[in-house]
Amino acid sequence: MESPPAYCDVSLPVPMDHVFTYLLPETLRHRVQTGSRVLAPFGHRTLAGIVLRTHSEKPDAPARELLRLLEEEPALDEDLLKLGRWIAEYYCAPLGEVLRAMTPLAGDVRRGKIISLTPSGRDAARQLHLTDGAEDDPARAILQMLDARAMSASYLKQKVPRAAAVLRSLEKKGFIEAEDVAAERDPLRASAARLRAEFVKRPGEEKLPKSQRELLSYLELHPGSHNVAELEKAVASASTAARALARKDLAKLTLEAVGATLTPFRPPHDLNAHQQEAFDHIRAALAKKEFQTFLLEGVTGSGKTEVYLNAIDAALELGRSSLMLVPEIGLTPAVAGQFHHRFGDRVAILHSAFHDSERAQEWRRIRAGEARVVVATRSGVFAPVRNLGLIIVDEEHDQSYKQQETPRYHGRDVAIVRARDAGAAVVLGSATPSLESRYNTERGKYQRLLLPERVESRPLPKVEVIDMRQEFLETRKQATFSRALVDAVAERLDNHEQAMLLLNRRGFSSFMTCRACGARLECPNCSVTLTFHRRDRRMLCHYCNYSCRVPERCPTCDSDHIQFLGIGSERVEDELHGAFPRARIARIDRDTVGGKRDYETILAKFRDGEYDLLVGTQMIAKGHDIPNVTLVGIVSADTGLGLPDFRAAERTFQLLTQAAGRAGRGTQPGIVLMQTINPDHYAIVCAAEQNYEKFYAREIEFRRLMHYPPFAALANVIIRGSKEEEALERSASLGRLLNPAPEGVKILGPAAASLSKLKNEYRYQMLIKTPSRKRLTEVLRDVRRFAAQEKWNPTSLVIDVDPMTLL
């Protein structure tokens, strides 16, 4: 018989391209496989990594022994490993860090101590069996427990009084040893509020403690699943008891989808002609089981979701699973609820707001093939979906699909590669597709599907552009709201309709400046001004969260002529209160919304009519469908236009069009008032007309002329360091390395980044552009090799391939 492999190569989450070889302990030789998640010693640390292969080739240097296998079932199958390799190559990221990002279970590992008996400890324990002693002696209890098996320190501390002190003394005597390992989390640790329990069976011989007995009878008498937190009202200690019963397989615990119970059921609509035509194309691709990418371009309110739901149905009918990606902020209870109603138990929801253990549990359901419809934010693109037939990327233009830390992958693009390998269909949906995707339809890479009208022939909202320069000339007042906007808000309040007001800038005032010397108050850690937050009475940095008291005098010249300029969302809310004292006003931005739950709560209350007006940043512009909103006011359409970024116009157009699309989605038509000082800018003109085609035609010419994506592959290389000279010098040496630029490659910089200092690090930047993707990868590989040769600290080089922002 062939002997089992003695070694395995492991990819660890470290910023190096190395693979590390470990010796497999006897007990693991038959169990560790390609894709297994394991614990390995690394220097003085213990790291969780992924096994790339097992083999029997004796390495040159003696290999250390692997510590543990984390789960019997491999975390990544061959297909996902292949996808990981593609990401590492395309985004120039270390494979180990890519694989870690692909396995959410990584968060499942918790550091802890495992206690086991030493040989003399074992002798001592055996002796105890022979002697009588006080039954409640904690040392005795611990030794006896450990004689059965090694246990975690935290478990012993739960079970035995004064365990901590006893463990210390036993360790001193040499009876026990403690090993630092990562322990797996109990999947039942999810908060009781999110758990549902139901009856499975009565116990056999086993005697249960009172609370468990009571709960079990309650569950038996009340069939169906119950919210565990709610059960507390009926049965004392229900939450602890429920977990104990689940461990004994007497009750079943399941995770509740966020908000599944909050949303009213919406019956499926009959598709209208446009929806039907789009759906027919998608269904045909599903039936052929061939890879194909569609761009579903549908105006706001055209019913894209209904097309998705039908496509998922069709995939299920063909026996295939679906994965739907939504933007970070798009996974609201309304969305989750809709999917639950339609697909029931077959749905798994993966949300970054979930606890690790909750996510791990959903992950296992997906891997086991129980969940066949997965709705997820970015990292869900790695969910181990079985028999994948369809991937939907909703709001495909959304920036949150791009990860802003290593590995800096784009969820949409990874989805397409994954679908290609799986022979699945892809549907990218948006009212304002990214230039890249729209251009791909012209090149024949994607097929374009159009939903040109709102459902039930509802009109798109009427948009009026208000020139705030003219307003100033007429009123001689620098006002936040134009007269037209004030009138329009008043009218909504009178009619009991609702309005949304968008200003994509947080805080009360964007900066503080001195009228005597002109100084602006800047962040000491970053090259940006501090924003005035009135409620907190602080000056705050939006990049590093530095904050300080609001100075009364200019820190530079000590003058007291200081003023606050630039309006933020907090001030908009404040002025609205002033203008409409009786209106009920809510605000959504990162200062009012701590977690996802706050966001959902405010939004739900607004939908239920508990507020009249909703103020907010771009957080309010996305995807919501609130029928009673008949006015959207854009306080300033100009906030993003001035940014030194080639995507500034695109981003502005998308934000304004999406925001405008919130108006008039119900039976009442809506209007949009757009205040601007750039009324002739094409991004604003086209957004006001809600004319994507016109914007696209204009913007694509600009990109072509300037050799920007989609006409070039682009990477942003940032060199950063805590010492300015060092960062400067390193960027210069990279500049020399790439000078002259390789053929067909354009290099801009090195130059100080537009955010030249961030969190106390100085930043220099190089932009690399080339029509050839292959060339770009080669150049970046050289850059990484150079940095490694020069022994730069890995964090000092940031490579962002296909960057969404150049700041």
Number of residues that bind ligand ADP (CB under 6 A): 17
**Residue 272's binding partner, choosing from ligand ADP, Zn ion, none, with beta-carbon cut-off 5 to 8 A by kind?**
ligand ADP
CB of 161 or CB of 459, closer to ligand ADP: 459
**Residue 306's binding partner, choosing from ligand ADP, Zn ion, none, with beta-carbon cut-off 5 to 8 A by kind?**
ligand ADP
- CB 395 to ligand ADP: min, Å: 8
| Tokens linked to 198 | 């139901």
- CB 631 to ligand ADP: min, Å: 18
Paired with 410 in beta bridges are 402
- CB 517 to Zn ion: min, Å: 3
Q: Which residues bind Zn ion (CB under 5 A)?
A: 514, 516-517, 519, 523, 525-526, 541, 543-544, 546, 554, 556-557, 559
- CB 616 to Zn ion: min, Å: 23
Q: How far apart are CA 222 and CA 684, in angstroms?
A: 59
CB of 32 or CB of 271, closer to ligand ADP: 271
Instruction: Starting at the earlier edge strand, list the strands of the sheet with 498-502.
Output: 462-467, 671-676, 629-634, 498-502, 613-616, 585-588
In sequence order, the 6+-apart residues with CB closer than 8 A to the CB of 154 are 112, 113, 183
Question: Does residue number 337 form part of the binding site for ligand ADP (CB under 6 A)?
Answer: no
- CB 778 to ligand ADP: min, Å: 41
CB of 100 or CB of 763, closer to Zn ion: 763
- CB 767 to Zn ion: min, Å: 24
Per-residue binding letters, 428-467, with ligand ADP (x by CB under 6 A): ---------------------------xx-----------
Q: Is the peptide bond before 94 cis (omega within 30 degrees of 0)?
A: no
| Tokens linked to 524 | 């000491």
Per-residue binding letters, 291-330, with ligand ADP (x by CB under 6 A): -------x-xxxxxxx------------------------
CB of 63 or CB of 455, closer to ligand ADP: 455
- CB 303 to Zn ion: min, Å: 43
Beta-carbon neighbour count of residue 180 at 10 Å?
A: 12
Furthest-apart CA atoms within the chain: distance in Å: 100
568 within 8 A of 508, measured Cβ to Cβ:
yes
Where are any strands of DSSP class E within 445-579? 447-451, 462-467, 498-502, 509-514, 531-533, 538-540, 547-549, 562-567
Where are any strands of DSSP class E within 319-366? 321-325, 347-350
**Residue 402's binding partner, choosing from Zn ion, ligand ADP, none, with beta-carbon cut-off 5 to 8 A by kind?**
none
- How many CA atoms does the CB half-sphere of 6 hold within 13 Å? 9
Beta-carbon neighbour count of residue 121 at 10 Å?
A: 22
Beta-carbon neighbour count of residue 524 at 10 Å?
A: 11
**Residue 747's binding partner, choosing from ligand ADP, Zn ion, none, with beta-carbon cut-off 5 to 8 A by kind?**
none
Q: What does the radius of gyration of the chain's CA atoms come to, in whole angstroms?
A: 30
Burial 253-289 (b: 16+ CB within 10 A, else e): bbbbbbbbeebeeeeeeebbebbeebbebbbebbeee
Q: How far apart are CA 99 and CA 77, in angstroms?
A: 12
Among 242, 271, 460, 779, binds ligand ADP (CB under 6 A): 271
CB of 263 or CB of 639, closer to ligand ADP: 263
Instruction: Starting at the earlier edge strand, list the strands of the sheet with 45-55.
Output: 20-23, 7-11, 45-55, 37-42, 68-69
- CB 600 to ligand ADP: min, Å: 17
CB of 626 or CB of 753, closer to ligand ADP: 626
What single-letter DSSP state applies at residue 534? T
Per-residue binding letters, 591-630, with ligand ADP (x by CB under 6 A): ----------------------------------x-----
CB of 566 or CB of 623, closer to ligand ADP: 623
CB of 557 or CB of 748, closer to Zn ion: 557
256 within 8 A of 358, measured Cβ to Cβ:
no
498 within 8 A of 613, measured Cβ to Cβ:
yes
Query: Which element (helix H / strand E) includes 292?
Result: strand 292-298
CB of 135 or CB of 270, closer to ligand ADP: 270
- CB 398 to ligand ADP: min, Å: 13
Per-residue binding letters, 249-268, with ligand ADP (x by CB under 6 A): -----------------x--
Among 272, 352, 527, 547, binds ligand ADP (CB under 6 A): 272
| Footprint of ligand ADP (CB under 6 A) | 266, 269-272, 275, 298, 300-306, 455-456, 625
